[in-house]
């Protein structure tokens, strides 16, 4: 098997797992509006103008950036657009994601309800389409709804939203 075929299979596994996780979250929330499952903030700036600011504010809020992935760059680097006829139908200019966590929060979630520990770490995805960049994440409060970890998940979500908002709209954030 050639190297590019291995990479293609890797991407397919990654996106299949991502889709399965989304479906699992959606299926477990009976009666929940799927739009409410995702926290989303948008700004009319380029992904390059906001990415570093958002990462800075997440760190400033006490989150560790476990891993950063420039998905758009990786797909272009591997020439996926030439191999897939339906590549990037939504014309996204950039796709980046970061896996973030707070050890204190992970411990608090585990102490409240060990079955909810998969909430943290979580991923924050930043995409650009046209002139608009949006930052999304699956809302921990929706996943933990009705569990003993719900209060901790709400606090986690509020901290994430606050840091993202500062990163998108604060001019004082260093790059």
> What integer is the mean pLDDT of 91-108?
89
% of the chain beyond a pLDDT of 70: 67
Neighbour tally for 42: CB within 10 Å: 13
Q: Is the pLDDT of residue 111 over 80?
A: yes
Indicate if the pLDDT at residue 74 is higher than 90: no
pTM above 0.85, yes or no: no
Strand segments (E) across 36-129: 38-43, 64-69, 92-101, 122-129
pLDDT at 3 over 80: no
Instruction: Output the pLDDT for position 15.
Output: 45
Instruction: Please report, for the chain, the start and end positions of each structural domain, with discontinuous segments joined by +.
Output: 34-169
Kindly state which CATH superfamily the domain 34-169 is placed in: TT1751-like domain (3.30.310.70)
Q: Kindly state the average pLDDT of the residues 30-49.
A: 80
């Amino acid at each position: 098997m050639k190297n590019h075929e291995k990479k293609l299979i890797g991407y397919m596994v990654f996106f299949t797992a991502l889709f399965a996780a989304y479906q699992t979250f959606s299926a477990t929330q009976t009666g929940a509006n799927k739009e409410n499952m995702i926290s989303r903030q948008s700004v009319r700036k380029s992904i390059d103008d906001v990415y570093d600011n958002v990462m800075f504010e997440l760190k400033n809020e006490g989150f560790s950036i476990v891993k950063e992935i420039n998905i758009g760059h990786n797909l272009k680097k591997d020439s996926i657009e030439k191999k897939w006829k339906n590549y990037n139908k939504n014309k996204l200019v950039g796709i980046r994601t970061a896996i973030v966590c707070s050890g204190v929060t992970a411990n608090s979630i585990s102490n409240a309800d060990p079955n909810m520990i998969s909430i943290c770490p979580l991923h924050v995805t930043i995409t650009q389409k046209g002139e608009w960049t949006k930052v999304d994440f699956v809302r921990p409060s929706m996943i933990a709804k009705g569990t003993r970890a719900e209060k901790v998940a709400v606090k986690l979500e509020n901290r994430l939203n606050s840091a993202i908002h500062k990163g998108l709209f604060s001019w004082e954030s260093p790059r």
